[in-house]
């Protein structure tokens, strides 16, 4: 199932290009268009790259909703039911493909960031920790996307989840410190699941204080992954039962 989904991705270069190009365009826009007006107490590129990397992961993982919905709508799942395979392998294949695709997209974004001046101070162990945290977020968000794909009435409806996934990082510490926001928005920005991930990534890569962000990020996204995994399996079995 993973190989099948990877082939679909490779045969749809427009989707692959958008997954890679959009985060790079946002990175270049923030660094070169808005960067000169941002005061974050240091190089803005170092501040913004962790947020862009997470946005790349969020957008890439959220497209799982569309691919799951397309498979359901086209009826290919009915054919899979006649084969001697586990029902859960259909969803697991989508999640694994999402993780592999996002590893590639994240690597490309980091390479571009290094080319335009991003200077991380992380040692190999911190890079590994950052990669593990991103993988957790991708897996959790991919399972959440699978739930939306199973609930959506059409692939077009499932596409709405990608907009939601891309919007959340904007209302966090990804691009500006939360203390610069209005009080009514600052509370949300500081206490939503994305902010502790960004603060942890920023601390691992460029050495800013992490505090309890790593614990909060792991708790948030570990819980989301477990809950969405179980929910997706229940929804899939209900959707495909005789």
- Does residue 6 contact residue 100 with C-beta atoms inside 8 Å? yes
- CA-closest candidate to residue 231, choices 75, 62, 88: 88
Tell me: the pLDDT tens digits for 40-98? Answer: 667 888 888 898 888 888 888 888 888 888 888 877 777 777 776 776 788 888 899 88
- Does residue 168 contact residue 58 with C-beta atoms inside 8 Å? yes
Residue 27: which H helix or E strand, with range?
helix 13-29
Mean pLDDT per 10-residue segment, the chain (242 residues): 81 71 84 76 83 84 85 77 74 89 88 92 94 94 90 82 78 86 89 93 92 94 95 86 61
Residue 15: the pLDDT is 66
Residue 32: the pLDDT is 86
């Amino acid at each position: 199932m993973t190989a099948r989904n990877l082939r679909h991705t490779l045969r749809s270069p427009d989707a692959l290009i958008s997954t890679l190009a959009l985060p790079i365009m946002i990175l270049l826009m923030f660094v070169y268009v808005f960067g000169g007006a941002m005061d974050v107490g240091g190089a803005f590129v170092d501040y913004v790259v962790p947020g862009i990397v997470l946005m790349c992961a969020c957008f890439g993982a959220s497209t799982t909703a569309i691919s799951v919905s397309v498979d359901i709508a086209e009826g290919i799942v009915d054919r899979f039911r006649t084969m001697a395979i586990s029902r859960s392998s259909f969803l697991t294949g989508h999640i694994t493909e999402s993780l592999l695709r996002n590893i590639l997209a994240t690597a490309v974004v980091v390479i571009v960031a290094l080319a335009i001046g991003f200077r991380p101070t992380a040692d190999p162990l911190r890079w590994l920790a950052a990669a593990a945290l991103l993988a957790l977020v991708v897996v959790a968000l991919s399972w959440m996307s699978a739930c939306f794909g199973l609930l959506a009435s059409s692939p077009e409806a499932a596409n709405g989840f990608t907009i939601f996934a891309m919007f959340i990082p904007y209302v966090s510490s990804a691009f500006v410190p939360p203390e610069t926001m209005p009080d009514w928005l600052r509370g949300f920005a500081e206490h939503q699941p994305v902010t502790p991930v960004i603060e942890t990534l920023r601390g691992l890569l460029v050495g800013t204080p992490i505090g309890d962000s790593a614990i909060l990020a792991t708790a948030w996204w570990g819980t989301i992954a477990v809950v969405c995994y179980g929910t997706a399996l229940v929804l899939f079995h209900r959707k495909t039962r005789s």
